[in-house]
Structure 1
Amino acid sequence: MRNPAFWAIAVTLAAGLTGCSATPEPVPRPTPNQLSPARSDALQQEHLDEVWASTGLPDAQRPDVTEERTIALHEWSSTIAACMTEEGIPTEADGGGVSYQSVSNAALVQYICEARYPVDAVYYDQLNESQLRFLYDYLVNDFRDCLHSYDIAVSDPPSLQSFIENYPRNGGWQPMTEVPPSQAIEVERACPQIPEGIYG
């Protein structure tokens, strides 16, 4: 992540105010929900059902896939790209996603790879309040500063309470949607939308 640029005058003012303002307490690391094995299985199955539905193939053609291991979210793109390449579709990890040439069986192969290497169910569960507080603090500080380093101005964030209340409905506040399309790919790579540590 790039460091935000600070104007000299802002630094001077901040130095003069140091003795008058208290340093905000850091937001504590969140505590993710503890999922039962049954809940984990249900969340992973729900995701795989969605992936299968996106193939457009009938359920009768849905293959039985043996799970090899559960992966963390940051492993997804590299793991799925390697798996699809092994299955005969040259694929590259592209930021947080994968890219490959459009071929008739690509969606089927991606399903097979996602079933073989499912993402830990904690990433599919709804964020609890401790996680939402952590996310809000990240978005209004580090993430917004990262956008400013690209000269991207975004709307003022809502209050924490409003963010928490509206998150299930509309994401609370999504400054990434205000990034110009011409800068989106570059900014997505430099400014992660999800902070490290939100899942524990």
Structure 2
Amino acid sequence: MIGIVRYGAGNIFSLTAALERLSIPYGMVNTEADLAQFDRYIIPGVGHAGAAMDKLNNSGLVPSIKALQKPTLGICVGMQLLTAYSEEGDADLLNIFPIKTLKFSSSPDHKVPHTGWNRVYAEKENPLFKDIPVGSHFYFVHSYFIEYNNAYTLAATDYSIKFSASIWQDNFYGVQFHPEKSGIYGETLLTNFSKL
């Protein structure tokens, strides 16, 4: 069963609607004691990374999240929270991945935020991307990106610059795109996560 970390900065509705469509059982993690009920976790997130980190700190869940040994997936800002630092709010984050979240440079050809469908290219074998063809389209909405680092990048995307569309280390995963809004391949990814 998936525990959705509820800390006040996540788009819970679209995610829970997707899980319900897929008949994937889930519940909410509001306190440290709730973590024991679940065998995997999702950290959602929308909006401002610095503000989201403040809310996560205020929840009291940070030490427990950093100590998790079960599969854990950060989505969008939830993925950015797994990195060490974000230029958005000049914020120190969870530092589970020792990489940075940086701001896109705007140009006539690449408007910021990066919004819409873009191709995602898995670079490593991992069950999270099982049955998802390389180059499949996923839905993005973000102004900040996670710097590309081969050690942690599971899948990459190009938008004026190559960046990490998905990261992976041990039991921690992140996706910059929104699988809950990405059609069949987004649903495949959520199903894959539910089986890790």
One fold, TM greater than 0.5? no
Q: What's the TM-score once normalised by structure 1's chain length?
A: 0.23
Greater relative contact order (CA < 8 Å, ≥ 6 in sequence):
1
| Structure of higher CA gyration radius | 1
Larger relative strand fraction: 2
Larger relative helix fraction: 1
